[in-house]
């Protein structure tokens, strides 16, 4: 009699421990992985298209590396060659009418001008990236310098 009670008792205690007041399968953190729970598999979001409008985008500050306004899929940039430079190099930009890469790209890190693109600057996508047609994952309330100055001027005008 006593022996048959013990397993039941153990089971009861164990069951109490498991029955927590919070769900074990917690919801996933909001943000990049919206919705669902940790253990749930959701369909992969579709891969968005690269923006390919060829319209220069405004820079947020003068030093910002400009983003690429066209598709660069399949562009080979390695030790053998640099597809970007066929249009954006000094010699290529006249033929293609694409903007020439800036003079800083022809300088080594000590500011010495070089004959060709500095190895330091060779891999374009380290700084310049194309953009995809997606909704931003997080909101951005960045204000550029013009907006800041305007705000300040507006504040100063207030009595």
The residues of the shown chain that bind another protein, judged by CB under 8 A, are: 52-54, 70-71, 74, 76, 79-83, 85-86, 92, 95-98
| CA gap 65, 126 in Å, rounded | 10
Q: Tell whether residue 81 is among the known ligand binding residues.
A: no
Q: Tell whether residue 88 is among the known ligand binding residues.
A: yes
> Which residue in this structure is represented by tokens 């109490």?
16
| CA gap 50, 68 in Å, rounded | 10
Least distance (Å) between residue 106 CB and another protein: 17
Pick between residue 79 and residue 154 the one whose CB is nearest to another protein.
Answer: 79
Q: Which of 38, 35, 17, 34 is nearest to 26 (CA)?
A: 38
Q: Which residues pair with 130 in a beta bridge?
A: 68
Least distance (Å) between residue 101 CB and another protein: 15
Q: Tell whether residue 132 is among the known ligand binding residues.
A: no
Binding residues for heme c: 70, 84, 87-88, 105, 124, 127-128
């Amino acid at each position: 009699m006593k022996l048959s009670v013990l397993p039941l008792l153990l089971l009861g205690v164990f069951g109490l421990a498991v029955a927590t007041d919070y769900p074990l399968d917690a919801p996933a953190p909001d943000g990049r992985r919206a919705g669902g729970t940790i253990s749930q598999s959701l369909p992969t979001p579709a891969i968005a298209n690269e923006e390919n409008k060829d319209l220069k985008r405004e820079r947020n500050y003068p030093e910002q590396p400009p983003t690429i306004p066209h598709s660069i899929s399949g562009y080979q940039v390695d030790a053998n060659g640099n597809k970007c430079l066929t249009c954006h190099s000094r010699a290529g930009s006249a033929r293609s009418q694409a903007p020439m890469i800036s003079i800083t790209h022809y300088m080594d890190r000590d500011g010495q001008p070089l004959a060709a693109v500095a190895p330091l600057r060779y891999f374009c996508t380290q700084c310049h990236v194309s953009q995809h047609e997606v909704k931003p994952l997080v909101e951005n309330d960045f204000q550029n310098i013009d907006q800041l100055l305007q705000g300040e001027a507006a504040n100063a005008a207030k009595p």
